[in-house]
């Protein structure tokens, strides 16, 4: 396991994050306490230090398990959890981005996790209701209280993230250091706006769903009758299944598993994959991606199968004739760092 800095912070996190949405059987598909402990210990032995959780995962059981697992070794871990999603469907204030829900969710998480601070506290999803100033002020207060060290944002439009980050910078409040998104070979929409924005604003990126719900393991290429109906209907879109087939082909050429190929690809994009598993065997297979090297021909094959259509204005600005209008004859004569290079 190697480590990287999360965004423009000094926080060192492992190159793969352990997702804990599968810690607890409450939602019908997760691991019990014994299996969760086995996964946690396996990840720790591999050198992992970056845990992803949320206040609502398995109705709070995931945080409860982690509170027990972290006892006596809390400071060795980069512990992250999230607020925003509902913890009580009948209470309008038990969800969303408001200061009230932030406070209540944070206190609940701290009690369950048996800790007095969270390393990275994520806004889980944008609610389109709460004032951006309220959000960033409340997050900054959480940092100044000492209960939160860093803040991040997940599942939000790029324009929202940029606006919030700008407000924080202008007011001297704690900025986001991370962006969490769905990202995989089967979900490359973030390449339009979210990933370029994260690079420009100094946000480290973590990706949930790096296996696209199993599509990239090739299992949905099997007959529908052999796959859980509940899951099959969600993921068996023909275009996504074709991408899964390309992953299987590359895996066969490398003597690797499709999951390893899919995760290794995410890592080549300077994105930290979040791995969730139901068993230690699944986790071990995923961590095998750390040893996998994707050569240019493999990357080209995967890109050919999955490249997104970026649309306007990206495709427009990438045209040679438009480049000539924007830059004149000097475009190829100007040396710029990677973050400033035109398309």
Count Cβ atoms within 10 A of the Cβ of residue 127 and give its class: 0-12 exposed, 13-18 middle, 19 or more buried: middle
Count of H-run helices and E-run strands, the chain: 13, 10
Lowest mean pLDDT among 198-212, 282-296, 313-327: 313-327
Structural domain boundaries of the chain? 3-305, 309-343
Tell me the mean pLDDT in the region 214-220.
90
Tell me the mean pLDDT in the region 230-250.
80
- Going by pLDDT thresholds of 50, 70 and 90, the confidence category of residue 338 is low
CATH superfamily ID and name for 3-305: NADP-dependent oxidoreductase domain (3.20.20.100)
The neighbour count for residue 76, using CB atoms within 10 Å, is 10
Q: What is the pTM of this model?
A: 0.93
Query: Which has the closest alpha carbon to 320: 310, 333, 332?
Result: 332
Please give the Cα distance from 287 to 290 (Å, whole number). Answer: 6
Question: Residue 78 contacts by C-beta under 8 Å, 6 or more apart in sequence?
Answer: 6, 11, 12, 13, 14, 49, 50, 51, 119, 120
| The pLDDT of residue 270 is above 50 | yes
In the set 3, 43, 57, 150, the catalytic residue is 57
Token readout for 16 is 């793969």
Please give the Cα distance from 85 to 187 (Å, whole number). Answer: 22
Query: Which has the closest alpha carbon to 159: 135, 191, 193, 136?
Result: 193
What are the pLDDT digits (tens) for 7-50? Answer: 999 999 999 999 999 999 999 999 999 999 999 999 999 999 99
Confidence at residue 220, expressed as pLDDT on a 0 to 100 scale: 81
3-class DSSP state for residue 13?
strand
Task: Determine whether 220 is an active site residue.
Answer: no
What are the pLDDT digits (tens) for 302-337? Answer: 999 999 999 999 999 989 899 889 989 887 888 877
| The pLDDT of residue 230 is above 60 | no
3-class DSSP state for residue 206?
strand
Tell me the mean pLDDT in the region 216-234.
60
Please give the Cα distance from 343 to 341 (Å, whole number). Answer: 7
Please give the Cα distance from 252 to 206 (Å, whole number). Answer: 27
């Amino acid at each position: 396991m190697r480590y990287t800095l999360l965004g423009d912070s000094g926080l060192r996190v492992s190159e793969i994050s352990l997702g804990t949405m599968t810690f607890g059987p409450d939602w019908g598909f997760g691991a019990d306490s014994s299996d969760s402990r086995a996964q946690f210990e396996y990840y720790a032995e591999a050198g992992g230090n970056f845990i992803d959780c949320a206040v609502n995962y398995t109705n709070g059981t995931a945080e409860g398990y982690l509170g027990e697992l972290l006892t006596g070794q809390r400071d060795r871990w980069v512990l992250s959890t999230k607020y925003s999603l509902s913890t009580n469907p009948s209470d309008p204030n038990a969800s969303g981005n408001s200061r009230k829900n932030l406070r209540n969710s944070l206190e609940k998480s701290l009690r369950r996790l048996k800790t007095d601070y969270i390393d990275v506290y994520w806004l889980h999803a944008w609610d389109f209701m709460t004032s951006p100033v309220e959000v960033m002020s409340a997050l900054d207060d959480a940092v100044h209280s000492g209960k939160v060290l860093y803040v991040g944002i997940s599942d939000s439009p790029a324009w929202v993230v940029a606006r919030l980050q700008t407000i924080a910078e202008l007011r001297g409040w704690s900025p986001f250091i991370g962006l969490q998104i769905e990202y995989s070979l089967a979900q490359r929409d973030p390449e339009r706006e979210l990933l370029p924005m994260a690079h420009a604003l100094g946000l480290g990126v973590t990706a949930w769903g790096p296996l696209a719900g199993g599509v990239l393991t090739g299992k949905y290429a099997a007959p529908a009758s052999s796959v859980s109906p509940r899951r099959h209907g969600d993921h068996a879109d023909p275009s996504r299944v074709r991408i899964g087939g390309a992953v299987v082909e590359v895996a066969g050429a490398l003597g690797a598993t499709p999951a390893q190929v899919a995760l290794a690809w995410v890592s080549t994009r300077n994105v930290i994959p979040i791995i969730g598993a139901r068993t230690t065997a699944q986790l071990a297979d995923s961590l095998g991606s750390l040893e996998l090297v994707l050569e240019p021909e493999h990357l080209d094959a995967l890109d050919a199968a999955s490249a997104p259509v970026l649309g306007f204005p990206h495709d427009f600005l990438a045209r040679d004739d438009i480049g000539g209008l924007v830059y004149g004859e000097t475009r190829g004569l100007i040396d710029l760092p990677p973050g400033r290079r035109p398309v």
